[in-house]
Amino acid sequence: MSVDPILVGVIGNRLHSILAEQQNALVNTAFSAVVRESLDLACAVFDSRGEMIGQSVGGTPGHINAMATGMHHFVAAYPPETLEPGDVLLTNDPWQTAGQINDITVATPVFLRGRLVAWFASCCHAPDIGGRLVSAEANEVFEEGLRLPIMKFLRAGVVNADLELLIRVNVRTPEETIGDLYAQVTGNEVGAASLVRLLDEFGLESIDEVAAEIMNRSERALRDALAKMPDGVYTSEMRTDGFDDEDITLKTTVTIAGEDIHLDFAGSSPQSKRGINVVLNYTRAYASFAVKAAISPEVPHNAGSFRPVHVTAPEGSVLNCVSPAPVASRHLIGHFLPSLLISALHKALPGNALAHSADALWMTIWRGVGADGEFMLNVFQTGGIGARAGKDGLSTTGFPSGLRSTPTEVIETMAPLVQLERVLRQDSGGVGRQRGGLGQSTSMAARGEISWSVNGNVDRTLRPASGVDGGGAGAPGVFGLVSGEDLPSKSRVALAPDAVVSVVLPGGGGYGAPFERDPLAVLADVVDGYVSIESARADYGVEVRYIGEPDALVRLPEDYVVDEESTSRLRR
């Protein structure tokens, strides 16, 4: 039977609001700063078969897209006859959901008059799951923490006390970890209750028919966008910092054939001995995100928008690792995939490319013992996005993760730490007709006499974000001590009580020749402190002069002018 198109539109919009309710309930009841402040999460609604109908506005592609394919594992493990109202399932198996032990997916079946009609689910990064903390030091997944198969966390509304106890005694932050699980359950319950009311309001016994039409519309829209692109084979290759002296190469071959696109990662490095490996589920997540973001970002995101995108990677490679490979820092490879793929699509998307970004989210884990006892804090920070053909890159913005940086006030409230500096990093954006987004310079010190350590899950300290079409590279990141000593990345290192740690984020690449940048745009960058007077002259060929008082503490925009004669000479 055909579905009323007006009903489809109304239900689609209502589901959008319900998903916002789900996420708000989750965030507002979460215990950890990871979820509450940085939004390292994803929320979604699924039909009775586990096909994703829609997602909330927030959430990382690695969580939401991996959960979209991972829900099929839940449905297979627990068919409808094994479930009842009040049941809640969970797992953090990396190969079934988001590719990392710390990411826990909680799924709740929705019942209407005794029949399973839908699912609500969320995936959140737990503040701790035991093991080595989040680093790349492990040699196998068993070292990285507690691995939970798909199982019932609640049975008919009653918490599985044995499972809760098992989790509590295996993690360093039991209240936060369990508290976030309850927040996920709460968010799912809020979404489920609203969906049941919606079905009753419209006299529907199932969401499946409407959901199928919503998904078909997204599939059709993405296929139409692909059909407008030139058929062909496009390739790209890049290298990342890897781990210690272990280089990692990422390769892709993109084949556009009519209404389908095939992404093959053959030629990428074999899986690593360290925890930077990516499961295929996570590779698919960021690969499909990149395609949709580059080709048709306005298409509603659901299972339909995955159908034209086909992703393959050789088994045993760093992008399709096999168990028991270590995977804790898989984002330090997976987050590079959008830049890799958008580079490959550059020729097929004239004027719509994106220079490479800082890409990998920087995650530092601070642990120690202070006057008030033990502490452990996850701090997220973001670098600059690459420039686009018509716009500068965004500064200190999480791409492709979408995560928020942890606020200074939260850091200093939750741990005996002081963030001494937090400023935009001048000249870190790649030069170009459009400038790359800036990174950030920060530093961290201990408050009082404490014993402490840091895990720096960072990248692009060796290989900065490259520019495109003549644009310059962004500045590489720096992770070390303010005194000048470098610290090892992706590993835990003990710190002296008086140490000051410098965490300096990389910038995004530039787009186009820098001498084509409007001199007034360069002037504005100098006034804002994004670009130094020296860089304006050397890199952009623009002579900016300061004409205000030499000793002025506050320098106003009108205190700077472009010397047009010198600029003309420099650019010649």
Q: Over the stretch 340-396, which tens digit does the pLDDT of each residue have?
A: 999 999 888 877 789 999 999 999 999 999 888 999 999 999 999 999 999 999 999
Q: CA–CA separation, 67 vs 235, rounded Å?
A: 28
Residue-level pLDDT at 548: 94
Question: Is 388 part of a structural domain of the chain?
Answer: yes
Alpha helices by DSSP H, listed for 278-381, are 280-295, 331-334, 337-344
pLDDT of amino acid 217: 95
**Is residue 50, in this structure, part of any structural domain at all?**
yes
Cβ contacts of 261 within 8 Å, gap of 6 or more = 226, 254, 255, 291, 308, 309, 310
d(CA 171, CA 563): 61
Nearest-angstrom CA–CA distance, 58 and 284: 19
For the chain, residues with pLDDT lower than 70 are 1
Q: Looking at the domain assignment, is residue 403 inside a domain?
A: yes
Q: Is 268 inside any structural domain?
A: no
Q: How many CA atoms lie within 13 A of 43 on its CB side?
A: 28
One-character DSSP codes across 393-414? PPSS--TTT-PPPPPHHHHHHH
Same domain, 425 and 542: no
Q: How far apart are CA 511 and CA 166, in angstroms?
A: 51
Closest CA to 570 of 545, 544, 537: 537
Same domain, 76 and 9: yes
490 and 561, same domain (yes or no): no
Question: Is 318 in contact with 133 (CB distance < 8 Å)?
Answer: no
User: Do 523 and 501 share a domain, yes or no?
Assistant: no
Counting the structural domains of the chain, the total is 3
Listed residues 218, 252, 284: the one ending a domain: 218
125 with 211, same domain: the answer is yes
Q: Are residues 450 and 557 in the same domain?
A: no
Decide which of 168, 193, 218 is a domain's last residue: 218
Q: Answer whether residue 239 is part of any domain.
A: no
Given this model, what pLDDT does residue 3 score? 87
Q: Which residues of 328-345 are buried (b: 16+ CB within 10 A; e: fewer)?
A: bbbbbbbbbbbbbbbbbb
| Same domain assignment for residues 475 and 543 | no
Residue range 474-530, pLDDT digits in tens: 999 999 999 999 999 999 999 999 999 999 999 999 999 999 999 999 999 999 999
Domain check: are 474 and 531 in the same one? no
Query: Are residue 136 and residue 125 in the same domain, yes or no?
Result: yes
Structural domain includes residue 307: no
Length of the chain: 572
pLDDT of residue 58: 82
What is residue 393's predicted lDDT score, i.e. its pLDDT? 98
Q: Do both 480 and 547 map to the same domain? A: no
Same domain, 70 and 210: yes
Tokens of 549: 């008082």
Q: Is 71 helix (H, G, I), strand (E, B) or coil?
A: helix
Are both 403 and 552 inside the same structural domain?
no
CA distances from 352 to 210, 288, 327, 490 (A): 34, 17, 33, 34
Q: Which among 364, 359, 369 has a CA at the least distance from the CA of 397?
A: 359
Please give the residue range of the domain that contains residue 531: 518-571
- Domain presence at residue 546: yes
Report pLDDT for 372.
86
Does any domain span residue 337?
Answer: no
Exposed, middle or buried: residue 420 (CB in 10 Å: 0-12, 13-18, 19+)? middle
CA dihedral 319, 325, 331, 332 (to 10 degrees): -90
pTM above 0.85, yes or no: yes
**End residue of a domain, out of 203, 218, 233:** 218
pLDDT of residue 274: 95
